[in-house]
Amino acid sequence: MEDAHRFREEDMPRLLTVQDLVVEMPGRNIKILNGVSFSLDTGQTLGLVGESGCGKSMTCYAIGNMLPHGLAQTGGSVDLSSNATPSKAGKPKISMIFQDPTSSLNPVHTIGYYLESALHRHQGLKGSDARMEAMRLLERVGIDRVKSRLRSYPHQFSGGMNQRVMIAHALAAKPELLIADEPTTALDVTMQAQILHLLEELKAETGMALIIVSHDLGVIARLADEAAVMYCGKIVETAPVEDLLARPAHPYARALIDCMPSIDASDLEPPVPIPGSVPLLDCLPHGCYFHPRCSRASSQCTAQFPSSAIVGPAHQAACYHPVAA
């Protein structure tokens, strides 16, 4: 597919290919995702960025085959290729870290039960072997006094500690692909930095691929190699992170960057909010979905959604009037 969004280095094996993915509400003709395409290589980090409701989390649920009840994949494909040895080849393992760790942990089970059951399911460990590995995982994610922590319940942990438990649980599966859906939501700034640093360390240590979902371009800039900007269930721009931040082509990507506050003392301009709001999926505007909020829109933008076009090396945007030539 010539226009597919590619995130690949020649020396890295392909791990994930998503092509023309469509997710909708059957019978209601409401498309949650509409033609999403990208690929990911082993050891690479892809950032999905956009406002709430743009389809970032739903893309991850579709990849993990965890679509909510009432939604169905009605088009496209999600292909995973394991890089394991031939004797262990098969579908790659995927783990996911959810937005709210407290609500993702069962309040009636201890942390030890939560981790040990995952180790039994994914690695076949039981008894003392599972307990020792659970303690090792907790130590790896920076939790102290691990022996007593195994007997604790989620409500006895802070939000940051519960997020670390979620990461330990994800690592129990030894995943080739880790999906982190807004992993720093509701955490204070110090804890956010610690969680991001932990993800960087784990990725370097294990060689796993990572999909990081965030509305925060600062998080994407820190962790991701490549970025995909989503709007109303479509990917409107893809680029290496450095290029996206320095030379955004789609007006929506430009607007997201303008929303970021600056710490540069010489830059006294306040962040510029994006006018309007993300439209509802059951009443999307004709043509480009962003045109009602876009200062560069023309009559062409209202007629038909633009195709993705190359605007630079490994840089594509779906826009009739890109910001960067």
Taking 50 as the pLDDT cut, the residues of the chain under it are 1-10, 84-89, 325
Give whole-number Cα distances, 322 to 25, 66, 69, 222, 311, in Å. Answer: 32, 35, 38, 25, 8
The total of structural domains in the chain comes to: 1
| 55 part of a folded domain | yes
| 246 part of a folded domain | yes
Residue 61 pLDDT = 94
| 207 part of a folded domain | no
List strand residue ranges (DSSP E) for the chain, in order.
14-25, 30-41, 45-49, 72-80, 94-97, 177-181, 209-214, 226-231, 234-240, 309-312, 315-317
3-class DSSP assignment, residue 161: helix
3-class DSSP assignment, residue 157: coil
The CATH number covering residue 6 comes to 3.40.50.300
| 245 part of a folded domain | yes
Residue that is written with structure tokens 């370097």 in the block: 204
Residue 82 pLDDT = 66
Task: Supply the range of the domain harboring residue 302.
Answer: 1-92+216-325
| 136 part of a folded domain | no
| 127 part of a folded domain | no
Rounded CA separation 216/259 (Å): 10
| 167 part of a folded domain | no
**Tens digit of each residue's pLDDT (9 = 90 or more) over 241-278:** 999 999 999 999 999 998 887 766 676 677 888 998 89
| 77 part of a folded domain | yes
pTM tops 0.95 = no
Rounded CA separation 208/223 (Å): 13
Residue 269 pLDDT = 75
Inter-residue contact 179 to 224 (CB < 8 Å): no
**Tens digit of each residue's pLDDT (9 = 90 or more) over 62-93:** 999 999 999 999 999 999 886 544 434 456 78
